[in-house]
Structure 1
Amino acid sequence: MRSPQPNLDYGGDVGLWFWCLAIATGMAAGLAAGLLMQLLRLVQSLAWGEGAAGFAAAVETSSSQHRLAVLAGAGILVALGGLAMRRGGRIGGGHAGELSAVIWFGGGRLPFIGTLAQGVLSITAVGLGASLGREAAPKQAGAAFGSLFARRLRLSPSHTRILAALGAGAGIASVYEVPLGGALFALEVLLGSLVLPLVGPAVLASGSATAAAWLLLPDRAIYTVPNDAVTASLFGFAVLAGPLAGLAAAAYVRLIAFADAHRPSGASAVLAPIIVLALLGGVAVLLPQILGNGKDVAEGAFTGGIDWPLLALLVVAKPLATAACLGCGAPGGLFTPTVAFGAVFGGLLGVGWNLVWPGAEAGACALIAATALLAAATHGPLSSVVLMLELTRRLDSLMVPVLVAVAGAMLVARYLEPRSLYACRIREGRAAADADPTAISAAAPYAEVLRGLLAGGPVPRVLDETGTCLGHLDAERVRAPARDDGPLVAATAGDFLSSPERRG
């Protein structure tokens, strides 16, 4: 029996069997994330002697020569690891290294061994000090397990796409203790849809992953922040900081897009990480805070423990370091570096704001701006707010100014930069498809494909992320999809090819 509720009529089959697959994917993602975090701690301990004081303290107490040596070693490792995976044809994590690309253009089909290998390389590079996020590795591992399970059961591209995204969200959930945030990230950011039939499996996958990770990881808040009160000054800060955070997010997304688009190839792909990471080690001699994913920097800003001159340095140096690491070919995530950038940006804004209207705690300013900038950069306002709520376990006391800032940031960022932090790394043929009325992007959602056919005209060609023709649409299948085509909410034009082109 169908529900009369319109947002439950999504097409396709997400029954009890799929919920069981979501649990299996979540548990595999959680265990993989736990093992990867153990590897991270081992690498940090061997490289920096990290103890109870944490990564930042270990780096700051190390000598200049040690910082240079460790980062040079990280560059050599990234160069050799990348070379080995390229020669083996086992680059995982998506087209152009971005998971979103393989979800939408590749039907969620990830090379299992290659994706796990890239995750191990990523977590090792972050442990050695690369200015990238640790979440990329568990996100890739979770997506790899979801893709593996779907392909072994010969599920449709739509089912495979969903399960890979749920696995990625589960990986984030388990490593950061954010079960609801991980589920929303999978739906809002990776799948671009909060359709109700997928919410249950997403929450179940992320919850299972978080529970499985408890076997290896502690249950605690990632960021320790004070419980600041909302004041009139703080509310006024949120009104101003939102649009400014949106402006900063748009600039940050363009910086990341530029760095990713200029990744080296050939012999340069081997030399670039060695040179860039060695230079990063040189900069760290004077500014050790730029190393690592930025967790300690963000927490310092959230507690008001960073003076304004250092905030001013980090608001420029940290995003540049992240872009440089990404641009040289080092694998890693962008979530925590983005939070760190937003935190120092908000902390610096808060210093200036308190000169005009005292009464806004510096840490609260940093937290509000970090949430707004994260939402604007990822184009995921709901997931960003929930993620920061779970990461701090204190954001609820600042919810009203946070939502005001997020709304302002989203309004500005969407106007200035339509791409998200993840979509900007997809080298896709959308522009070519838009310029050619007889072509459509393989990532075009089912609803857009159907509208195009109903409007009349020739059956379009389907272009992949590079602008290469994959074949023509099967117009009859689009108009009358079968149950085996899977949930239409996650179906794309690339799932309905009638005459695939052969690639040489």
Structure 2
Amino acid sequence: MAAIFPFRPRRRVMSVKSITSNPVRREHSPFAAVAAVTLLTGIGAGLGGMLLALLLHGIQHVAYGYSVTHAISAESFLQGVTGAAPGRRVLVLAICGLVAGLGWWALYRFGRPLVSIREAVKSDDPQMPLASTTAHALLQIVTVALGSPLGREVAPREISSALAGWLSRRAGLSVAQSRIMVACGAGAGLAAVYNVPLGGAVFVLEVLLGTFGWPALVPAIVTSSIAALVAQAGLGNEHQYLVPSMTLSASLVVWSVVCGPLFGAAAWGFTELMKRSRAAAPKDWRLPVLSLLNFAIIGVLAMHFPQLPGNGKGPAGLAFDGGLTIGLAAMLLVLKIVITASSLRAGAEGGLLTPGLANGALLAIVLGGVWSLFWPGASSGAFAVVGATAFLAASMQMPITAVVLVFEFTRVSQDFLIPVLLAVGGALLAFQACTKWAPALQPGFGLNWGGVGKAR
């Protein structure tokens, strides 16, 4: 029988149950996964940045009672605060203190521990808690809208990075790819909220990743471009500052060389002060108390100086436009530094990009005004553009990003690259010299409330 009927292996018949319980895993293309996450991160960052910006402007209009029915460009925040009654400014800033104090206290008390973008980019598990990160970002937007002197740029970066991390995990990207996408999310958020696609991409490459290699370069450019394009649907294709036509002069070039190191030294002092202020901030019951007290004082100051509330865009715009005297610029510079440090010390959170930009512009008005007494020929706005770039580049240690951002912010002529780069170079050298030598010369520098933040 065996010869007549040769042996044939029995075919295994799989039931429907066995098929559904043991699905065949299909390998997806790594390129397709990265491309999908890149596309979705850019779209998500654009939508997130647009919504956060609209929320910010909506709160500003309602809080200070100006141009409620018209769009963003109808009236500036500085004009709205200036037009509000002095008592209303105090009330709004006091509410800001309550929101900041109670909000961040509740987040630290009940929320999951926050993970910064830098920590996520360096982590083996580049994830940021979505709920806590979203709450943290919304608190920043609300408080800046109500008059906090800190920057609003961190909020869209955090939300976009958290989204990128979540998408990367869902797509099964590797750790290295996920880190790149988290960084790209941050750049895309910056690009969306300020309409700076190139600046957002360069920020990713220079500041967060420290590489311009192709695996990082392509997604950084694509995500930031898509985010800026999506955000324009709701915010319009506008740049941040309206700068009058300015011309290059020999006086400005020489001033940039001479004063560049002064901006670097000032940026070092500002950075150290902010670092110690943030390190000393409480996270317990003292946070609401200090926050309310701090912002109430800012409200009193705002009764006489309506330029103080907000992230510094108003004073910077006045500096670029040549609308400040030397005396007023000096007073605003001192007060802006003090209230920025005190807000961080009280427990509020926010960025330092736009405050740093404003400080540089105000310092440039003072230095440029004195310089013009001896060598006229440059406008105060030209001094402000150069000084703002140098201060920002040194304070945040991102020279390329700072140059790109300021040129995208202002759309100033490319002729200004020469004085800008000269000032940035001098500022960076001075900042590095201060970092190396200053701690040995003055170990007690900086704020020291409660014994916190003594060591660097």
Aligned partner of residue 307 in structure 2, secondary structure: helix
Three-state SS of the structure 2 residue aligned to 1:214 is helix
The Cα offsets for residues 325-346 of structure 1, whole Å up to 9 and x where unpaired, read as: 2222212221111111111011
* Offset from partner CA, 1:299-331 (integer Å, 9 cap, x none): 110111111111010121112211222222212
1:373 aligns with 2:391: yes
1:175 to 193, 196, 200: 193
Quote the offset at 1:182 in angstroms: 0.4
Deviation at 1:91, TM superposition (A): 4.7
* Cα offset, 1:384, TM superposition: 0.8
Please say if residues 227 and 397 of structure 1, whose CA atoms lie closer than 8 Å, have aligned partners that are also in contact.
Answer: no
Shift of 1:411: 1.2
2:110 pairs with one of 88, 102, 108:
88
Q: Are 1:27 and 2:43 counterparts? A: yes
Residues 50-65 of structure 1: matches in 2 within 5 Å? Answer: 50-51=66-67, 52-65=74-87
Q: Which of the numbers 136, 158, 165 marks the counterpart of 1:118?
A: 136
Shift of residue 105, structure 1, vs aligned partner: 4.8
| Partner residue, 1:47 | 63
Distance between the aligned counterparts of 1:196 and 1:397, measured in 2?
30
Deviation, 1:242, is 1.1
Relative to structure 2, which stretch is displaced further, 360-369 or 156-165? 156-165
- Aligned partners of 1:19 and 1:204 also within 8 Å: no
Match in the other structure for 2:444: none
Q: Which runs of 5+ in 2 are unaligned?
A: 1-28, 68-73, 437-456
Measured after TM superposition, the shift of residue 276 of structure 1 is: 1.0
CA 1:285 to 1:326, structure 2 compared with 1: closer, same or farther past 3 Å?
same
8 Å Cα contact 2:120-2:182 kept in structure 1: no
The answer for the alignment partner of 1:135 in structure 2 is 153
SS at match of 1:290: coil
Instruction: Note the aligned Cα RMSD (angstroms).
Output: 1.7
Identity fraction in percent: 39
| Count of residue pairs brought into register by the alignment | 402
* Equivalent AA in structure 2 for residue 183 of structure 1: A
Number of the residue aligned with 1:279: 297
CA contact (8 A) 2:283 2:347 kept: no
Give the distance between the partners of 2:190 and 2:384, measured in 1 at CA. Answer: 23
Superposed CA deviations along residues 140-176 of structure 1, whole A, max 9, x for unmatched, are 1111111111222343333222211110110000111
Unaligned runs of 5+ in 1: 1-12, 419-504
Q: CA deviation at 1:383?
A: 0.9
**d(CA) in 2 for partners of 1:264, 1:75:** 14
Q: Using the alignment, how far apart are the partners of 1:246 and 1:364 within structure 2?
A: 18
Q: Residues 387-426 of structure 1 correspond to what in structure 2 (within 5 A)?
A: 387-417=405-435
For the structure 1 residues 395 and 374, does the alpha-carbon distance in structure 2 shift closer, same or farther, using more than 3 Å as the test? Answer: farther
Match of 2:327 in 1: 309
Q: CA deviation at 1:265?
A: 2.8
Q: State yes or no: 1:160 paired with 2:182.
A: no
Does structure 2 retain, via aligned residues, the 8 Å contact 1:133–1:332?
A: yes
Q: Aligned-pair distance for 1:402?
A: 0.6
How high is the TM-score relative to the length of structure 2?
Answer: 0.85
Q: Is the 8 A contact 2:105 2:285 kept in 1?
A: no
CA contact (8 A) 2:39 2:223 kept: yes
Deviations 1:376-432 (A, max 9, x none): 1111111111111111111413111111111111111123237xxxxxxxxxxxxxx
What pairs with 1:65-84 in structure 2 (closer than 5 Å)?
65-84=87-106
Q: Which amino acid aligns with 2:273?
A: L
Q: How many Å separate the matches in 2 of 1:375 and 1:254?
A: 15
Tell me how far apart the structure 2 counterparts of residues 90 and 70 of structure 1 sit (CA, whole Å).
29
Amino acid at match of 1:226: P
Q: Does the CA-based 8 Å contact 2:30-2:173 persist in structure 1?
A: no
**Residue of structure 2 in register with 1:289 after alignment:** 307
Structure 1 stretch displaced more, 62-71 or 188-197: 188-197
Deviation at 1:43, TM superposition (A): 0.6
Report the secondary structure of 1:293's partner residue: coil
Larger radius of gyration: 2
In structure 2, the partner of 1:17 is 33
Distance 1:70 1:163, change over 3 A: same
- Tell me if the contact between 1:91 and 1:118 (Cα under 8 Å) persists in the aligned partners: no
Task: Please name the residue that 2:262 is paired with.
Answer: 244
Match of 2:363 among 326, 345, 362: 345
Secondary structure of 2:235's aligned partner: coil
